[in-house]
Amino acid sequence: MNATRDIIRTWSDVTVHTPLLAYGLAGLNIAGFAIGAVFWYGDFIRASNPPLWAYPFIPDSPLSTLLFGAALILLNFRRPSDLLNRFAIVYNVKYGTWTMLYWTLYWARTGDFNPVSLLMFATHFGMAIEGLLLFQYLDRSNLRNTLVVFAWMILHDIVDYAPIAPGREGYGWYPPLPLGTSLVPVMMIYAILMTWLLSASLFIQSLVYKRTVKTNRLATQSVTLSR
């Protein structure tokens, strides 16, 4: 287990601190933001005409890749942002696996393994992996940033699924889906569940770290006093 973790960390560090690899991967993710925002969400935004305040909550997956690209560049500069890293983790893991689940359900219902669905499944699998890799670079003592991310993602779920968007059949500004609203209840439950599970994992990581630091400090004090 430790050997596997060390190998993952080593290769992650090589990617993060090798400019060609870091900027290449960041560039792919930023390009993914532009492509996804224009070609997947562009028609949806033009047709539904959402209010300006809803825009930050609409392009879920494109925003995820933009966040990861920015986080990777800052890591390469050795100026990481813990808040940005946490946002990138939650967005990429949540919306990466969300999209994978959607296409799995789509295939089960239709049997339509079209190239777009296969490509989106593969790219969103990559997004989820990227999010998981960022766990290694967190400031594990920082609970405040997790609270900020948790609050934002709750707001994000409300904007996506609360009955606030005219003409959206009782929902909010959720992403455009090929099967319409038939899978929205399932996807809504999954989105909310992932918000809580991912935030809980970040909270637990920080709490365990703080407890470990406290235990080590007490052990060190005990050894010092015994001398």
Q: Which residue has the higher pLDDT, 7 or 219?
A: 7
pTM of the model: 0.91
- For residue 64, give both structure tokens: 């995820």
What's the full length of the chain, in residues? 227
Lowest-pLDDT choice from 6-10, 40-44, 176-180: 6-10
Q: Residue 1: what pLDDT?
A: 63
**Is the dihedral angle over the CA atoms 24, 29, 31, 35 positive or is it negative?**
positive
For the stretch 32-71, pLDDT in tens is 999 999 999 999 999 889 999 999 999 999 999 999 999 9
- On average, the pLDDT of the chain sits at 91
Q: Which residue has the higher pLDDT, 135 or 141?
A: 135
Q: Residue 169: what pLDDT?
A: 83
On whether the CB atoms of residues 161 and 189 are closer than 8 A, the answer is: no
**DSSP secondary structure string, 152-181?**
HHHHHHHHHHSS-STTSTT--SPPP-TTTT
